[in-house]
Amino acid sequence: MKIAFAGKGGSGKTTLSSLFIRHLAAARVPVIAIDADINQHLAAALGLDEHADSAPPAMGAQLPLIKEYLRGTNPRIASTETMIKTTPPGAGSPLLRVGDDNPVFDACARTIRLDDGEARLIATGPFTESDLGVACYHSKVGAVELCLNHLVDGRQEFIVVDMTAGSDSFASDMFTRFDMTFLVAEPTRKGSAVYRQYKEYARDFGVALRVVSNKVQGPDDLAFLRDEVGEDLLVTFGQSE
């Protein structure tokens, strides 16, 4: 199952996605965690030292390798230069599977040992100095999109993606790649506005959307959420000091 965590910056998106990943790992469920946010904090949220040698390399920097492997022997793809992020698999194209070892995972993924299990972590990587002023972040996310197009998840296998904050999630078509999107929203007018914006954008694409509300402080917040979000409200989390 492919799961996305989206929401505005500061809503707790990365924290809640990391807790969900830990929950899956504790249940001994195979899980691949992907940090697709421009602010790369998922590794730290999973307990990895941001400066450790075990941190995953930037996936965006591995795009030539990814294209070469996923091209395989597909006769419809003349060269890796003709591959774009939406290029689908075809005859001769290798498929990525959650529990497999392959050149893409060898180059991009790192296994993180958690308290009660483990997860594979992949990160798009931050901007580099050479990107500034000449590239948008979605050039990095393209590597994730290409892999999602070729990734097969079986029963009780999960891919969990921490998306970039705000409506930037809709700047590429990656938001259509998921079985479920959890929108992390605070019980505020801004939070409900973000929900309505996501709902409007997602409606025409059949995106399954549920709201996970964070920083809920009492019955008034809960009543507000029920009025604003309705049946899309899945669960709430309290305010932690």
pLDDT tens, residue by residue, 208-226: 999 999 999 999 999 999 9
Kindly state whether residue 135 falls inside one of the protein's structural domains: yes
* Range of the structural domain that residue 95 is part of: 2-178
Kindly state whether residue 212 falls inside one of the protein's structural domains: no
For range 145-155, the mean pLDDT: 90
Sign of the C-alpha dihedral computed for residues 37, 55, 60 and 18 taken in this order: negative
Kindly state whether residue 102 falls inside one of the protein's structural domains: yes
Phi-psi region of 30 (alpha: psi -120 to 50; beta: other; left: phi over 0): beta
Token look-up 């590429």 returns 172
Q: Of the candidates 149, 138, 139, 145, which has an alpha carbon nearest to the alpha carbon of residue 74?
A: 149
Q: Of the candidates 2, 35, 38, which has an alpha carbon nearest to the alpha carbon of residue 18?
A: 35
- The structural domain count of the chain equals 1
What are 57-95's pLDDT values in tens digits?
888 888 899 999 999 999 999 999 999 888 889 999 999
Is 182 in a helix, a strand, or coil?
Answer: strand
* Choice between 168 and 93, residue whose per-residue pLDDT is larger: 93
Q: Of the candidates 15, 17, 5, 11, which has an alpha carbon nearest to the alpha carbon of residue 188?
A: 11
% of the chain exceeding 90 in pLDDT? 58
- The mean predicted confidence, pLDDT, of the chain is 87
Q: Of the candidates 186, 185, 187, which has an alpha carbon nearest to the alpha carbon of residue 221?
A: 187
Kindly state whether residue 40 falls inside one of the protein's structural domains: yes
Report whether pLDDT(137) > 60. no
Distance of CA 209 to the CA centre of its chain: 14
> CATH number of the domain that 123 lies in?
3.40.50.300
* Choice between 29 and 57, residue whose per-residue pLDDT is larger: 29
With contact defined as beta carbons under 8 Å apart, do 173 and 141 qualify? no
Dist. CA 191–CA 228, nearest whole Å: 10
Q: Of the candidates 150, 39, 173, which has an alpha carbon nearest to the alpha carbon of residue 17?
A: 39
pLDDT score at 133: 46
Kindly state whether residue 204 falls inside one of the protein's structural domains: no
With contact defined as beta carbons under 8 Å apart, do 170 and 7 qualify? no
Report whether pLDDT(132) > 50. no
Kindly state whether residue 238 falls inside one of the protein's structural domains: no
C-alpha distances out from residue 209 to 6, 14, 106, 174, 180, Å: 10, 17, 32, 14, 6
Kindly state whether residue 59 falls inside one of the protein's structural domains: yes
Kindly state whether residue 30 falls inside one of the protein's structural domains: yes
Ordered strands of the 209-216 beta sheet: 110-114, 117-123, 31-35, 158-162, 2-7, 180-185, 209-216, 233-238
